[in-house]
Structure formats: C-alpha cells, structure tokens
C-alpha cells in the first residue's frame, strides 16, 4: 500500500475531479446504482473485431436491462472520463507515457496491427473508452457505499497494475478504486476484499497489493491459461486453481467453501466482485465449462453472502469473450433483482 500511496499527489483536488460523487449527490431519485456510458464502446474502424472481446458488451447489456427491467436512459449513472491527474494516483509517469507509443498499446490490447495505427487514433478509439470504463468502476464503488450494491457495465481490468498493462487491460481500475476508497472514506472503509471470479488470474491487483493486510484477495481461476504469474500469486489469500473444462458442480462447491473461509479470516467493509463471464463453456480464452445457469448461481452466491451481512458489493464485468456473455450477464442482474438482492 505504501508504494502506491507514496505516488498520490498532495495538491488539492482540481475542479475537473468529478468522477467521485460528492456525498450529497450520491443518490439521485429514479436511478439504480448501475453505471454505464455509451462512451464505453471501443470503435476502431473494425479493428476491434480482431480481438475476441465484445467491444460493445456494455451497450448490449444496457439495452437488455432497459427492456427487461423497463428502464430508460435516465435510470443509470454515467461517469466522467478519467483525467491524467486521476490516473497518476495509481500509475507511474513512465507507464502512462508508454501509452503514447502504439506498439506498447498493441501489446496490451493483443491486437498486433494496432502498432501501425497513429497513436492519436488509438487514444481516441481505444484508450478513451477504457478511461470511461475505469471511471465507471470508481463511481460504482462510491455508489455501493450508499446503496449497498452497485454494478459497472464495464471495467474489471485485473491484469493491469500500477506500472504495467496487459491482457486487454490498459488501466488498473481495481487498484485505483481501492486507493480512492481508502483515501475518500477512511472511517467507513478500512478493509477491502477482492473476489475475483474471472477465468484468469487477477495478477494486476495482486501485484499492487502484495503484503497489504487491509486488502484480502480471493481468486478462482484456470491455472492453465494466461497469465500464470507466480510472483503475483503470492498475494492471494484464498486461491482455487481450476483445471481446464471445470464444470458447475465442482466450481460452485469450491466457491461456497472459499466464501466461508474468506469471511472466517477477514471481515471486509466493502467487496469488489470481478465477475468475468469468460468462465462460460465455449469461451475461447477461459477454457472452463460453466453453464449460464452456473454463472447466475455464482453471482447469486456472491451477492447473497455479503448483502445478508450488510457488506456493500461492487460488481465489475471483466472478461467474457462469447457473444452470449451480454445476455447471460443481463439475465443474472435481472435474477439478482428478482431474488431481492438489488434493493
């Protein structure tokens, strides 16, 4: 924690610092604590199709939720793009400077042809949407403290740490959210738990919070796919390394065990739930075999476990590389609402 907070700038918050909602404005009548912006979508002249990630996943979920829950545009909270000063509360100057080079961004996005694209276009079409999504994670964290829960229809960039990006994750939104919660809510938030259920190891936040007692990391992931970061793994306090093609029964049994074990060891003030849907059967990168019903039960278990105890939950969407992911996520959110877990 010290190495991150040492980089926090001591200058006063500037007027542009509007991502963090002031207390008196946190709840707005007629809105649900679901965060979304049309600026989340990556539009790259078709190049985004070269990566299996659904670059418009948030948009598709937003549309489904509006139809199924009878919501309109005004029912959602919308973030403001993160600024350079805000990003520097976590990221090193050297890392942010490296994003000015298209070759570096191409490696992070895993789209080699981007190396030949002018950086100004990359900034506008890829990095700017990612800054909006990262801002959404911060806003969701603030809203969760007042509502008891919040969902960002994006974010969850768990492969990015303060000094390095990767795995389609250019900004460390989880680490930034944690630091901001500790800074802005020192009396309400002293202990944070990350429940990372994306199919891939969350090596970004694990590198940022190694040996930080106030941050507890639960990570269930396929041990045979990217990133296989053994150094970062040392930060996990409750780990389940899954095998390829793991199915619902074993997965959910392990999740229940881990949730109970984690709460026995650590009582958080807030939970950051990284709810990747790349665990779905057929996902080309996750290589697990969890059904849509299994994902819905997974989400229900996480929300019911913590909401029953009055612990706020911030849900981030993270990975998911099937076109079906958007429908599964929307169905799960609707199910959580029907179960009374999104009051």
Q: Would you name the residues annotated as active-site residues?
A: 159
Encoding tokens for residue 330?
């929307």
Specify the residue for token string 């095998």: 243
Looking from the CA of 10 toward its CB, the CA atoms found within 13 Å total 1
Rg, the chain, Cα only: 18
Backbone angles phi, psi at 12, to 5 degrees: -65, 155
- Tell me the C-alpha distance between 311 and 269, whole Å: 6
Specify the residue for token string 């790349």: 278
- Tell me the C-alpha distance between 26 and 94, whole Å: 34
Backbone angles phi, psi at 163, to 5 degrees: -120, 5
Cα dist from 156 to 29, 168, 188, 195, 308, whole Å: 27, 11, 23, 11, 24
Specify the residue for token string 């040392």: 234
Residues 6+ apart with CB under 8 A from 264: none
Specify the residue for token string 């029912």: 75
Closest CA to 257 of 235, 274, 238, 233: 238
| Buried/exposed 6-23: b ≥16 CB within 10 Å, e otherwise | eeeeeeeeeeeebbbbee
Give the strand pairing for 34-35 and 215-222: unpaired
Looking from the CA of 139 toward its CB, the CA atoms found within 13 Å total 31
Given a contact cutoff of 8 angstroms between Cβ atoms, the answer to whether 59 and 331 are in contact is: no
């Amino acid at each position: 924690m010290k190495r991150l907070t040492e980089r926090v700038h001591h200058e006063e918050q500037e007027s542009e610092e509007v991502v963090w909602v002031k207390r008196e404005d946190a709840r707005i009548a007629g809105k649900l604590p679901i965060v979304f912006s049309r600026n989340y979508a990556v539009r790259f002249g078709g190049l985004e199709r070269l990566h299996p990630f659904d670059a418009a996943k948030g948009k598709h979920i937003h549309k489904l939720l509006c139809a199924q829950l009878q919501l309109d545009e005004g029912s959602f909270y919308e973030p403001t793009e993160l600024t350079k000063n805000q990003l520097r509360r976590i990221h090193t100057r050297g890392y942010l400077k490296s994003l000015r080079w298209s070759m570096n961004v191409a490696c992070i996005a895993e789209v080699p042809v981007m190396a030949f694209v002018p950086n100004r276009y990359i900034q506008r079409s890829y990095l700017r949407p990612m800054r909006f999504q990262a801002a959404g994670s911060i806003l969701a964290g603030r809203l969760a403290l007042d509502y008891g829960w919040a969902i960002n229809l994006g974010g969850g960039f768990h492969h990015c740490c303060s000094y390095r990006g990767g795995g389609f994750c250019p900004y460390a939104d989880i680490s930034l959210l944690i630091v901001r919660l500790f800074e802005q809510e020192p009396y309400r938030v002293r202990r944070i738990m990350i429940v990372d259920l994306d199919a891939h190891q969350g090596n970004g936040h694990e590198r940022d919070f190694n040996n930080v007692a106030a941050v507890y990391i639960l990570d269930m992931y396929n041990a045979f796919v990217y990133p296989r970061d053994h150094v970062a793994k040392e930060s996990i306090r409750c780990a389940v390394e899954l095998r390829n093609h793991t199915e619902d029964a074993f997965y959910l049994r392990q999740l229940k065990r881990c949730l109970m074990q984690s709460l026995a060891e650590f009582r958080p003030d807030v939970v950051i739930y990284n709810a990747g849907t790349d665990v779905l059967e057929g996902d080309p990168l996750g290589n697990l075999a969890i059904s849509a019903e299994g994902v819905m039960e997974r989400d229900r278990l996480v929300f019911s476990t913590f909401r029953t105890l009055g612990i706020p939950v911030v849900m981030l969407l993270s990975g998911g590389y099937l076109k079906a992911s958007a429908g599964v996520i929307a169905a799960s959110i609707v199910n959580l609402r029907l179960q009374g877990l999104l009051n």
